[in-house]
Structure 1
């Protein structure tokens, strides 16, 4: 049985006899310091400049200082991060340490420490929760206002001594705020840009690839809801906006993705978050795991966003995506920071105006908006150079020559197919808004029925479509159109339709999938029967769309039905 005593170094590259056991022969060891999953995702961006250099071994540790410790072990295991305990980390000497958070007793690390932000710069206030045993940290004096988290002496010093040997800034403007918050730290500041912003910009030429990877059909629009954590966040202060986005935006034309801060997932539990959002997930909400880069792909693919005071909102605005604010924590946003300016520039979501109209206004106003362009430019003053500048900083501190190959930002990896949401056998009830076009065709827009609220008046005269077997009597008894199950063995279509009419007292039209592909057999309560089929391109959900078209336009042998900008021809053969 191997020796597991505390006095023995169990991690191979740190053993005194490491040369006997290792395959590569690193000459420098770097410590990656993790505070929580949020900081870990940023840390991996910061460590990319070491890729391809076998002279450098990176090991990771966790400070154990975050209230959001859940998920860290799973994150590290899934990425096979070589990990050592915090106690072991404090007992070893490293050539460099990199941290994207200020939490924990970083002053005890025996290495030159590089401190970097874990978001889009420094934009929020945060006070340290002082424990009795750390009361030797000198309190703030006088009436000086605190600076943003990461730029204030409270987070940069211990017993009057600076903790980091280098403080990474993403923009020159942060240096003046650092001067106000901790003037003695200015000589240690390094403006090195923003690696995340650089990767987002490097990804822009591949927008269509990201859209396809996220499952968007041609012509669909993507709305990204960005929520940080806390009571002032989008989910904390305005979770109803998620409902509104799915209820008011036509489901064939829009996809809605919620990019939720890891602290929400790990603070409340993933199961709980999904339970809260279950009605929205059933209506098609995309909810990617918080420990992946899917949110980056989504921002590149987005047509619009609605956010709050989190970093993702600032990144989206910097990419030029039009957007709105669904919530904003003025009290936690640092004065005169880029986020503070963004809060003053973006319109708030109005409760009584259709959301689609508000998004259209935001899109119309975004092009050429110099104020938003200027705020976006404050994310980094070294665009597309962060990998280069971070690597220069790291290798100079390690006193190691840089690799010969250039350090360049790489596009974000294409998302793997998103896990399909589990769903029941009954399709959600939907309201269909069918409107005649000038050329005699029909434009159809569909909306989840269960999420509706009449406040904005976005559905002037819809009809209700539900599936046979719908358990909610609100829909099953009042539906105008019922999508029927196939006839039972020995049952004719007409007999099955009569059963549907008996069980659904409000139903006028019962529709079945026809025997041919993309065809539909429909019956009306007065005994009429129609067979219809799509010629050429078929719309999504062809039987349901055909049923709504037949309900809205009961006459005519041919109609062009437009769904999500796609014109499709529905024919009713004679006889």
Structure 2
């Protein structure tokens, strides 16, 4: 039973226990009870999943049914039902429709089925552990309720004691998969386009009010801020968007809203794949909220800061509520980078976080064995003789890049240098709010001469003429020509090859910059041009030949750049 894309992706984690067993035929259906079930049929079709209408599912007799949500008229099934969570345990609350005993997602269709449900005690109890979602007409609907940790059974006993006898603590298959895949971190980083020496910041947004995407006046503000403040050569930023937000608004709409950020480097994978798992394994830090991905990240030991956290959406006394108490909140008055660096420095040794990590599963590494045992018992089939083991997270087949531009994107660059060393940091210019960004002090603007937004080329300190565009050269052979056409330009850098560039200064001086020896992966004509610009500014008299050791951060491999007079 698929409630929406979110429940479908977790359901696939469970169904791996049947891989290779031709005795088991699986059929899928959508309960048609979610306000956020857009894309479900396409999900079935694109994966070749045999599916039937919900009405047919309720009248046919199957050997077993599995659901990772409680929405829909599950009590109408003529089949033993196995219920499981679709996140990191049972941590969320859902609102009740006044007077009806039903629940809703917050807009559009209601979240619960149309059947009568138990009224419950009115307490704020976790979705999936309360009578409203487990009982119908005085009986427990699921034949078995899968829990990932013993503490969930304690909360179940307090909220719905009738369901305790059918509860089974079977661990967390998603976390076990992440754990067994962790040694292959470098494979996931390469697949996501993370260069050696770069760090990946994962921004995780759940759905609804109070999430990262919905907690500010601008849907892109948290993402914009992280992308704006982190040097582009040292950091990559990936947004993991909850499927309910992605399909609730529509994939096109989310991609359209975030296009100004994906154009400047934001990685935005489709959420119905396992790329988010690969991103977690590749991540160096998380800006999260009250979604399950933040909890999984903490359990993996990844430093995290909360950009948003909605206490009203979180079940009291749950591990997620504890996460909200422990993790630091992102301050608007301080830069993001030192905040995530501080989290990295202290969180590994924090006893409270260590205890919180333990609440994700009380059967670490055992979920495949326990789940297969449970499901085959209900099927009344002997288990396969091969051991039950977690599948590795698949390596993404393509880098999730939203936009690739044929022109060099404009950047603000700091190129602090000494006598023979320069450290370069570049920041995407169009996502900055210049009057507010402290990291832009003492920077110069670098832009492509053909940028379609003429504001950048006309105001740039350094103009880049990439390789293969010789048409400009006839009219730009002197400093006067450059000044006449581009008033802000102090240096025109003509890319000659991957090894460097020819630099024309406004005063007529010409320099050639070439990378020497083994060129670092980040070295480019644009970075060379910024070093030349800084060298020319810092020289009291005319620029002179020099060899400069260039780095893009304190810990990156340096490259050697020779600057020669022509």
TM over 0.5: yes
Aligned to 2:550: 561
Secondary structure (helix, strand or coil) at the match of 1:324 reads strand
Listed as ranges, the matches of 1:420-435 within 5 Å are: 420-435=401-416
Q: Aligned equivalents of 1:184 and 1:499: distance in 2?
A: 84
Q: Aligned equivalents of 1:146 and 1:194: distance in 2?
A: 24
Residues 202-251 of structure 1, C-alpha deviation per residue, up to 9 Å, x if partnerless? 01110111111111100000000000000100111044110111110000
Aligned to 1:194: 172
Aligned to 2:230: 249
Secondary structure (helix, strand or coil) at the match of 2:280 reads helix
Secondary structure (helix, strand or coil) at the match of 1:404 reads coil
Residues 337-370 of structure 1, C-alpha deviation per residue, up to 9 Å, x if partnerless? 0100000110011112111111110100112111
Matched, 1:212 2:190: yes
- Would the aligned equivalents of 2:119 and 2:131 in 1 still touch at CA under 8 Å? no
- Would the aligned equivalents of 2:268 and 2:400 in 1 still touch at CA under 8 Å? no
Residues 475-519 of structure 1, C-alpha deviation per residue, up to 9 Å, x if partnerless? 2332111112566459558527654432210110010012x4412
Q: CA deviation at 1:138?
A: 3.6
Q: CA deviation at 1:445?
A: 0.3
The change in CA–CA distance for 1:282 and 1:166 in structure 2 (over 3 A counts) is same
Q: CA deviation at 1:96?
A: 0.8
Task: Point out the more displaced range, 362-371 or 494-503.
Answer: 494-503
- Would the aligned equivalents of 1:558 and 1:571 in 2 still touch at CA under 8 Å? yes
Aligned to 1:318: 299
Q: Aligned equivalents of 2:350 and 2:547: distance in 1?
A: 46
Aligned to 2:106: none
Matched, 1:452 2:432: yes
Q: CA deviation at 1:534?
A: 0.7
Q: Aligned equivalents of 1:344 and 1:133: distance in 2?
A: 34
- Would the aligned equivalents of 2:148 and 2:361 in 1 still touch at CA under 8 Å? yes
Aligned to 1:97: 65
The change in CA–CA distance for 1:396 and 1:253 in structure 2 (over 3 A counts) is same
- Would the aligned equivalents of 2:498 and 2:525 in 1 still touch at CA under 8 Å? no
- Would the aligned equivalents of 2:13 and 2:173 in 1 still touch at CA under 8 Å? yes
Task: Point out the more displaced range, 317-326 or 516-525.
Answer: 516-525
Task: Point out the more displaced range, 212-221 or 122-131.
Answer: 122-131
Task: Point out the more displaced range, 293-302 or 528-537.
Answer: 528-537
Q: Aligned equivalents of 1:133 and 1:413: distance in 2?
A: 35
Q: CA deviation at 1:113?
A: 0.6
Secondary structure (helix, strand or coil) at the match of 1:215 reads coil
Give the alignment's TM-score, normalised by structure 1. Answer: 0.90
Matched, 1:441 2:430: no
Unaligned runs of 5+ in 1: 1-32
Secondary structure (helix, strand or coil) at the match of 2:349 reads coil
Secondary structure (helix, strand or coil) at the match of 2:438 reads coil
Aligned to 1:300: 281
Matched, 1:65 2:33: yes
Matched, 1:542 2:524: yes
- Would the aligned equivalents of 2:237 and 2:266 in 1 still touch at CA under 8 Å? yes
Aligned to 1:507: 489
Matched, 1:74 2:42: yes
- Would the aligned equivalents of 2:262 and 2:401 in 1 still touch at CA under 8 Å? no
Aligned to 1:408: 389
- Would the aligned equivalents of 2:266 and 2:401 in 1 still touch at CA under 8 Å? no
- Would the aligned equivalents of 1:230 and 1:236 in 2 still touch at CA under 8 Å? yes
- Would the aligned equivalents of 1:468 and 1:500 in 2 still touch at CA under 8 Å? no
Secondary structure (helix, strand or coil) at the match of 2:385 reads coil
Matched, 1:233 2:201: no
Q: Aligned equivalents of 1:69 and 1:133: distance in 2?
A: 14
Q: Aligned equivalents of 2:150 and 2:469: distance in 1?
A: 70
Task: Point out the more displaced range, 465-474 or 260-269.
Answer: 465-474
Instruction: Pick one of 72, 77, 80 that aligns with 1:109.
Output: 77
Q: CA deviation at 1:259?
A: 0.3
Q: CA deviation at 1:304?
A: 0.3
Matched, 1:185 2:163: yes
Aligned to 2:561: 570
Give the alignment's TM-score, normalised by structure 2. Answer: 0.92
Matched, 1:140 2:120: yes
Q: Aligned equivalents of 1:393 and 1:498: distance in 2?
A: 80
Secondary structure (helix, strand or coil) at the match of 2:267 reads coil
Q: Aligned equivalents of 1:393 and 1:81: distance in 2?
A: 23
Q: CA deviation at 1:418?
A: 2.5
Listed as ranges, the matches of 1:366-377 within 5 Å are: 366-377=347-358
Aligned to 1:7: none
Listed as ranges, the matches of 1:491-506 within 5 Å are: 491-492=473-474, 494-495=476-477, 499-506=481-488
- Would the aligned equivalents of 1:352 and 1:455 in 2 still touch at CA under 8 Å? no
Q: Aligned equivalents of 1:103 and 1:128: distance in 2?
A: 13
Aligned to 1:166: 144
Q: CA deviation at 1:146?
A: 3.0
- Would the aligned equivalents of 1:146 and 1:152 in 2 still touch at CA under 8 Å? no
The change in CA–CA distance for 1:499 and 1:59 in structure 2 (over 3 A counts) is farther
Let me know the Cα RMSD of the aligned residues.
Answer: 1.9
